[in-house]
A and B are shown apart, each in its own frame.
Chain A
């Protein structure tokens, strides 16, 4: 059941009112059943994988909480092994075996190729295993009491709005909210519904429209002109941003309608002044996870320059692998690691105010500061576009070929047949303009929407109606998956 499907609207329309109609005591059960139904609508069998992980982590959490200090680590290791084991088996087994088989064949070692795993990756496995691990780690660190209620713990992992693509929550933030039954807060419900509307707009109007052109070009980049390739390279960053940020907004909004606040996941990422700044704005809950549970425990930036660089390399390499078991994601991670390391090594060259974020956040951009910050922002965006090629390409060869073709003067500049669908291109540019405009507005004037949060109720209602009409008129309703679902 995809968020951008009619079935989800019905599901949401039934579950949310029911949530308030039944007693506080049974709300967790309703949400748990709804979440199971939501997940089972994709592949029911994978509920078993989820239940197994939940069972192990629940027991591990309780044991960590009650065991003597020396034994606690063993239960943490058990929990992490179960989560990472499931992740390795379903997500990385084929990648490593395939690479190993390839290496054997390159070395001319005659042996039976190791068999590949033929099962599909359970939806959102990377998200809920990371959320589950953050629970056991927090319990181990003593920052979180182990949850005694199995149903509530299961709901912490399975809460349907963020089950398949995050935001990756912390137990301290989500579990108390699941415990506390709140009476309906209609302002909160209205806010949640508005967030959902904006999320739908970003997904079906912008991301899926851009996806039509991007998929067409990436299907066969070898035959396309330089302009078409450049357009696809320019469109994809916005496609993936609107796809994932749209999903996150729908998730945050759906949770908000039930009085549950989820962590924000995006903060105008393409207004970042550097790649480091980008990672503070892009998929913020994943960045926070890696920072708190990997980067800082490894020593962070406290152990000297070389160790810091090594830590950054490891974090970004694993972040790349987290996104997908393919060399394209490894290269994507390494490219980000390279530039972030470079940025951290040249930190002392820059005086802090020369960043786009600061220039924007002051609200009083100085005449010389803003152009310089914009230049840095543009350079960062160009670098991000380059790295997204690896993220989107089917394989490394295709990504390299695309870059080569873009740079080669022998590639024809344009072919008329590639731009025949002018209406599609117009919609794409209009969508991107909306997103850039909205992000710049938010950066300068804050989160409040000009029309959706207008002080006059009539304007607010008219804006809601207009947004729904726009979604119905320009949305792509082909039930296309969210890109991050595959992770």
Chain B
């Protein structure tokens, strides 16, 4: 039977040991993470800390797979980098813009907006966990990450928490940080087209579309506020911003609450807003799509060329 003093003593030893382990392992992870140049982590670090491209593309997987930087560079005469990220929403774009603008001033930003970007289910801050390694080094990102929950600022006191789930990746990359992605200035093409897919996969590829409650949902005020802050941030720093709704396989004939709200905000703020969600050049063109919500490489090239021309004209 141990006494209270002995028990509390052991708790203190555990707490001290934990603090030490957190600092030692956590700082090694931070050091190793900062040295990663390839893969998902390398891409995010490059966008936040190193890119100097005057034209940045922001958004989710629809940005990553649909905007070809080479074409934008050639037609707009601005070096372009695709800073989009799979599975991310507006908060991620807001965090990236906040971090980038602390370092340099891009001339223009292209924001790919999901037709359901303002739907309440998109206000999931959990996805932002991939930015936790930047919490201590980028205060702008920290303020956005704090919205993940009321205790986020306390949890991030732990270095281990910030690198949670990344340790094996970091360990692997600290041994061999090799090129394992096929991105071109952040653009990651999808080469398969719908007609080339087996029937079952094609059916599944078309099943996940933008139909449903998300299109008509009342816009989430937090996401709309993030969108407005992003616009304000860009205009404060003199960056031209273009908000784009890229093509979808099934035309959104009645639009969506997100598109209506975003168009309204952009009109009031004099921001370029281009909506291709009903474009007959793309909708239902099997050969241009990888699935219902992503263009394949030929679709992306066709779309980027069209977008470049439209942006040129809008100038």
Do A and B truly interact? yes
Q: A7 contacts which chain B residues (CB < 8 A)?
A: 151
A7 to B151 CA separation, bound complex (whole angstroms): 8
Q: Is the CB of A473 within 8 A of B163?
A: yes
> How far is B173's CA from A423's CA once the two chains are assembled, in angstroms?
12
B13-42: CB near A (< 8 Å → 1, else 0) gives: 110011001100100000000000000000
Q: Which of A459-480 contact B (CB under 8 A)?
A: 461-462, 464-465, 468-469, 472-479
Residues on B with C-beta less than 8 A from A427 are: 168
Interface members, chain A 422-437 (any B CB < 8 Å) = 423, 426-427
**Complex CA–CA separation, A186 to B200 (angstroms):** 60
The A interface is mostly helix, strand or loop, or mixed, namely: helix
Nearest-neighbor residue (CB-CB) of A20 within chain B = B4
Count how many chain B residues have C-beta atoms less than 8 Å from C-beta atoms of the other chain: 36
User: Would A186 and B204 count as touching, CB distance under 8 A?
Assistant: no
Which residue in chain A gives the minimum CB-CB distance to B160? Answer: A472
Q: Confirm or deny: A6 has a beta carbon within 8 angstroms of a beta carbon on chain B.
A: yes
Alpha-carbon gap, A7 to B154, bound state (A):
11
Q: Name the residue of chain B whose CB is nearest to the CB of A423.
A: B168
Q: Taking the complex as formed, is B175 at the interface, i.e. its CB lies under 8 A from any CB of chain A?
A: no
Pick from A6, A223, A478: contact of B200, CB under 8 Å: A223
- Is the beta-carbon distance between B7 and A186 smaller than 8 angstroms? yes
| B164–A472 touching, CB < 8 Å | yes
Q: Which of B141-179 contact A (CB under 8 A)?
A: 149, 151, 154-155, 158, 160-161, 163-165, 167-169, 172
Within 51-110 of A, Cβ neighbours of B (below 8 Å) are at none
A477 touches B129 (CB 8 A): yes
Q: B21 near A423 (CB under 8 angstroms)?
A: no
The interface residues of chain B lying within 8 Å CB-to-CB of A476 are: 165
Q: How large is the interface on A (under 10, 10 to 19, 20 to 34, 35 or more residues)?
A: 20 to 34
* Residues 396-410 of A contacting B (Cβ, < 8 Å): none
Q: How far is the CA of A222 from the CA of B167 in the complex (A)?
A: 33
A347 interface residue per 8 A CB criterion? no
Chain A residues whose C-beta falls within 8 Å of the C-beta of B161 in the assembled complex: 472, 477
Q: Report the Cα distance A190→B11, complex, angstroms.
A: 10
Q: Name A's B-contacting residues (CB within 8 A).
A: 6-7, 10, 184-187, 189-190, 220, 222-223, 423, 426-427, 457, 461-462, 464-465, 468-469, 472-479
Q: Given contacts A465-B18, A478-B126, could you give 10 more A-B pairs where the C-beta distance is less than 8 Å?
A: A10-B151, A190-B2, A222-B204, A223-B200, A423-B169, A462-B17, A465-B14, A469-B25, A473-B163, A473-B164
4 smallest A-B Cβ distances: which pairs? A472-B160, A186-B7, A465-B17, A223-B204
Residue pairs across A and B with Cβ atoms less than 8 A apart, 13 shown, are A6-B149, A6-B155, A186-B7, A423-B172, A461-B10, A461-B13, A461-B17, A465-B14, A469-B25, A472-B158, A472-B160, A472-B164, A473-B163
